[in-house]
Amino acid sequence: MAIVNVTVNGQKIQAQPGQTVLQAAREAGVFIPTLCDHPAVTPFGGCRMCLVEIEKQRNLQPACTYPVTEGMVVSTDTPRVTEARKFVLELLFSERVHYCMYCAMSGSEENTQCELQRLGYRYGLTHWQFPPQTAKRWPVDASRKYFFMDHSRCILCRRCIRACDEIVANHTLGVRERGSRTMVIADDDVPFGESTCVSCGTCLQVCPTGALIDRRSAYMGGECDLTHTRTTCMACPVGCGIDALTRGNQLVRVNGDWDAANGGLLCIHGRFETVEPQPARVTAPMLRKAGELAEVSWDAAMTAIAGRLRVAGPVAGLASPRATIEELSVFRALFAGPLASDQVGLIYGEMPPALGKSAGLADLKDADLIVVVNGRPLDDQKVVGYVVRRTAEAGAKLIVVSDEPTTLDPYSQQCFGLTDLCKVDAEVTAARFPVVLYANGLPASVYGDLRSLSPKTRFMPLYQGINTAGAAKIGLGERPVKGNALFVLAADEIPNGHSLPEAGFTVVQAAYRTKWTDVADVVLPAQTWAEKHGHVVNIEGRELPVVACVQPPAGVQADTVTLAALAERMGQGAKSNV
Amino acid sequence: MSEKITVASDWMCGCAGCHMSLLDIDERIVPLVQHVTLTSTPITDLKHPSKDGVTVGILEGGVNNSSNEEVAKMFRERAKILIALGDCAVFGGVPTMRNTCGIQEALRRAYVESESTVNGQIPQHEDIAVMQDTRAVDQVVPVDIYLPGCPPSADAIWYVLTELLAGRMPELKGKYLDWH
C-alpha cells in the first residue's frame, strides 16, 4: 500500500493513506490533546481541542478528522495553536458548571479521572476568563440503578452517543436542540431509566468528564489510588476481558478491556452486577450440629467429611461451571482417585455438540452472514448479541432460525422456524464469511444439517456457564448424579433456580451462604472470582486467565488446596484400611 | 534586609481551610516573617489592612454578601498585588451550589427546614449583611494572581509568596496547579 509522507513539527513521518492527522501523529509519538475523540468510535471533530496548523490551510484544522495528504506539513505546538486550544478550554469551562472541587472525577494532574481537568492543568488554566452561569440549574438524571448523568458536567462531545450507536448498536442516546441548548437525551427525551438503555455502561466508560458517574465507585479514589488488574469477566461464557479497579482490597469498578476480543464492551452483569454487594461470605468451615451450622476448625471439618464419605457408600459430585479448569481438574481427580466414583458432573451447563471451525468475537465482526439457530444471545450472552447486532447494522445479513420469537428478530432480514432450516444452505454457500450461532437442546438432525453446511462456515455455540467449555474439555458436563453422599464444588455461584439433589450427607464448598449451603451438612469456604488465579475456556474456545485482584478473607484458602487436602485425607484413610 | 514587605489577608465566603493550608508552611513561617510583615489577618488583632496600603493582599473565599463585597473592594484599593487564594476566591467554589436554588430557598433550608431546628426563623436585622449570589473575587474586583486549590497546598502558597519576594510573578503549573 502507498505511504503518505507527512512532516509533523519538523519530523518526517510515514502515514497510511486514509489516516487522520491525529492517528498519524499518535503513531509517531506526537501528542495532540483531544476530548471528543475516542479510538473506539468514529472521529467527530466536535470539541476543537486537537486544532493544528497545516501549511496552505487558512484556518487551524481539527487533527482528528483531517486526512493526511502527500507532502503535508503540520505543526501541533505553535503559539497560535496553544492560544486556540486555551480558548477552546475557556469556552468549554464557561458553558456549564465544571466546579471540580465537588466532582467525583476530580484530582491533581496525576490523580484526576477527568480528561477536561487534565487538559485545564496542561494548558495552565489558573482561573476562568468567562465565568459560567452558576444560577442555572442543569438536570441530573438518576433514574438508572448503576450510574447517573449530571448534565452540568457534560461537554457535548457525543462520545456516549457514538459508543451507544457504534459499539453497542443500541441507539438509545441522541441530542435535542442545537448550540448551547443542546442536551444529551435518551430515546424521545425520556428519563434514562425508562428508556431503551440496557445499562451496559459503555457510555460511562468513554465519558471524558464527570457527566456520567458510576454510583458505586464515585469518590472512591482517583487514578493514583486505584490498582488495575486485567482479568476475565465471570458473568457468562463470553468471558470478556475486564480491567478490575481495586483499592484497599476492595473491588471498586469494572471496566471493559479495550485490547481484549470484546473491545471494551461489557454488559450490565459484568460491569455492574459483579460489583454489587453479594450474600454473606463463608469464612470458616461449618458443621451442622442440632440442625444449625456452626463454625469449626479445618481439621474437625475434614475429619467429619472424610469419616462420613468413607462409610457413606457411593459419593456423587457436582461442580459449578464458575469453577476454573484447575479447580475442576483437582475435583475430578478426587472422584477418580480416593472417592472412586463416576457419579460426577456439572450442576448446570450443557455444551452443544461441536460442529466445525469455531468462531471468535473477531470473526463475528468480519462475518457477512450470521445465522442464529435457537439462541437468545441478546439475553443470555449479551456481548455476543451486541456484536451480532452491530455486524448486522454494518451490512451483514442476519437470519434468525427459531420456533419462538427472539429479541434479535427485529434486527434480522429473515426469521423462520426450524423446519425451514434447509433455506439457510443456499445463503451460507453464497456468503463470503458465514458464522452460525447455535444453542443446545436441538434435535440431532438439526445439528447434522448444520454440520453439513459449507466448510467455510464458522460456528459459535450458545450455552450457559462461564467455564462450561473448560469443564467439557476435562470430561465434565451437566448430568444427573446419584449417591448416598454429595460433594458440591459451588465456587462463588449464587444459585438461580438450580436445586441440589437430596443425599444422606451433603458437603458444599462455597464462597457465599446460599440455599445450597442451607441444605449442607458440612460447608467449606471457597474463593470468589476476584480472589483466585486460574483459567477458564470461553465461548470462542479460548483459554483465558482469571487473575486475582483482591485478597481473600482470612481463613479462606484456594479451592484447589482444600480439594487436595481432602483427597490426601481420604487417601490416608484408604491406606489405613489396608 | 532593608524594608519588610507588607502582607494582609482576609477570608470571606470560604471555610478558613486555605488559611489552614497557609499555616501548613510550618517552620517556613520563620524565614517568611523575616522578610514579611503580616499587617492584618482574620486571626490577628488587626483585621483590616491600613489605609496606607500593603504590597500584597490575600483573599480567601468568594463574595456572597454586601460585607464580602466591601472587603474585596477595600483589599483591591489597599493592596498593590491581590491574590485570590483557593477555589472559592478563584471560581466561587462550593458555595456557588447555593446559586442554583436561590438565596431565599437556601436561607429557608438552613434556618427553618434543617432537621435539628425547631421553630426556626430566617434572621432579619438591618445590621446583617445583605446576601448576594456567590461570585468569584474577580467578578467583583480585578485579581492579579490566581492560586486555585481546595485548598491550595502549602507548597503552592509558599511558591507564590517566595516568587513574589524574589520580585517575580509566579507562574502556576505542574504540581502547584491543582484545583482539587
Number of CB pairs < 8 Å for A and B? 77
pLDDT of residue A180: 87
Give the phi and the psi of residue A10 in degrees, each rounded to 5. Answer: 85, -10
* Residues belonging to chain B: 180
Give the phi and the psi of residue B173 in degrees, each rounded to 5. Answer: -150, 170
Structural contact between residues A326 and A534, judged by C-beta atoms closer than 8 angstroms: yes
pLDDT of residue A2: 87
3-state secondary structure of B134: strand
Which residue, among B35, B61, B64, has the nearest Cα to B133 in the 3D structure? B64
The gap from C-alpha A144 to its chain's centroid, in whole angstroms, comes to 19
Give CATH superfamily name and number for A357-462: Dimethylsulfoxide Reductase, domain 2 (3.40.228.10)
Chain B residue numbers touching A121 (CB-CB < 8 A): 173, 177-179
Q: Does B18 touch chain A (CB under 8 A)?
A: no
Structural contact between residues A116 and A98, judged by C-beta atoms closer than 8 angstroms: yes
Neighbouring-strand partners of residue A12:
A7
Task: Looking at the complex, report in whole angstroms how far the Cα of residue B88 sits from the nearest Cα belonging to chain A.
Answer: 10
- Minimum Cα–Cα distance from B142: chain A residue: A129
Beta strand pairing call for A485-491 and A315-319: parallel
- Minimum Cα–Cα distance from B150: chain A residue: A101
Task: Looking at the complex, report in whole angstroms how far the Cα of residue B105 sits from the nearest Cα belonging to chain A.
Answer: 13
Q: Is the ipTM of this complex over 0.90?
A: yes
DSSP H or E run through A559? helix A559-577
| Interface contact flag, A108 B102, Cβ < 8 Å | no
As assigned by CATH, the class of the A4-122 domain is alpha beta
pLDDT of residue A405: 94
pLDDT 10s digits, B30-48 = 999 999 999 999 989 999 9
For CA atoms A501, A507, A510, A512, the dihedral sign is: positive
- Minimum Cα–Cα distance from B149: chain A residue: A101
Residue whose C-alpha cell is 466445525: A356
Structural contact between residues A218 and A161, judged by C-beta atoms closer than 8 angstroms: no
* Whole-number Å distance between alpha carbons of B121 and B46: 33
Which residue, among A340, A317, A337, has the nearest Cα to A505 in the 3D structure? A317
Q: Which three cell numbers stand for residue B136?
A: 468569584
The amino acid at residue A81 is V
Contacts of A15 (CB under 8 A, 6+ apart): A3, A4, A5, A6, A23, A24, A27, A68
Q: What pTM, to 2 d.p., does this model score?
A: 0.93
- Minimum Cα–Cα distance from A137: chain B residue: B100
pLDDT of residue A576: 41
Neighbouring-strand partners of residue A318:
A345, A488
| Interface contact flag, A131 B136, Cβ < 8 Å | yes
Structural contact between residues A371 and A424, judged by C-beta atoms closer than 8 angstroms: yes
Domain spanning A140-275 has what CATH number? Answer: 3.30.70.20
For A294-332, b/e burial (b = at least 16 CB within 10 A) is: eebeeeebbebbbebbbebeebbbbbbbbbbbbbbbbbb
Nearest to B179 among A106, A135, A136 (CB): A106
| Interface contact flag, A127 B84, Cβ < 8 Å | yes
Q: How many CB atoms lie within 10 A of CB A250?
A: 14
Task: Looking at the complex, report in whole angstroms how far the Cα of residue B56 sits from the nearest Cα belonging to chain A.
Answer: 19
pLDDT of residue A573: 52
CA angle, corner A225, sides to A221 and A231, nearest 5?
100
pLDDT of residue B3: 76
3-state secondary structure of A277: coil
Residue ranges of the alpha helices (H) in A231-347? 268-271, 298-312, 325-336
Q: Does B119 touch chain A (CB under 8 A)?
A: no
pLDDT of residue B180: 78
As assigned by CATH, the class of the A286-350+469-569 domain is alpha beta
pLDDT of residue A1: 65
Q: Does B19 touch chain A (CB under 8 A)?
A: no
| Interface contact flag, B180 A135, Cβ < 8 Å | no
Chain A residue numbers touching B132 (CB-CB < 8 A): none
pLDDT of residue A178: 94
pLDDT of residue A411: 95
Structural contact between residues A7 and A13, judged by C-beta atoms closer than 8 angstroms: yes
pLDDT of residue B179: 87
Question: Average pLDDT per run of 10 along chain A, which is 578 residues long?
Answer: 92 96 96 97 96 97 97 97 97 93 93 96 95 91 97 97 97 95 96 97 98 96 96 97 97 97 97 96 96 95 94 94 97 93 95 95 96 95 97 96 94 94 94 96 94 96 96 94 95 92 96 96 98 97 97 96 94 51
Q: Does B132 touch chain A (CB under 8 A)?
A: no
What ranges do the domains of chain A cover?
4-122, 140-275, 286-350+469-569, 357-462
The amino acid at residue B76 is R
Chain A residue numbers touching B150 (CB-CB < 8 A): 101
Which residue, among A138, A260, A258, A275, has the nearest Cα to A199 in the 3D structure? A275
Q: Which three cell numbers stand for residue A560?
A: 484447589
3-state secondary structure of A301: helix
Structural contact between residues B72 and B141, judged by C-beta atoms closer than 8 angstroms: yes
Neighbouring-strand partners of residue A61:
A52
Q: Which three cell numbers stand for residue A191?
A: 428519563
Interface test with B, best of A114, A126, A137 (most B CBs within 10 A): A126
Nearest to A101 among B150, B172, B175 (CB): B150
| Interface contact flag, A127 B90, Cβ < 8 Å | yes
- Residue B1: pLDDT band (50, 70, 90) is very low
Chain A residue numbers touching B94 (CB-CB < 8 A): 99, 101-102
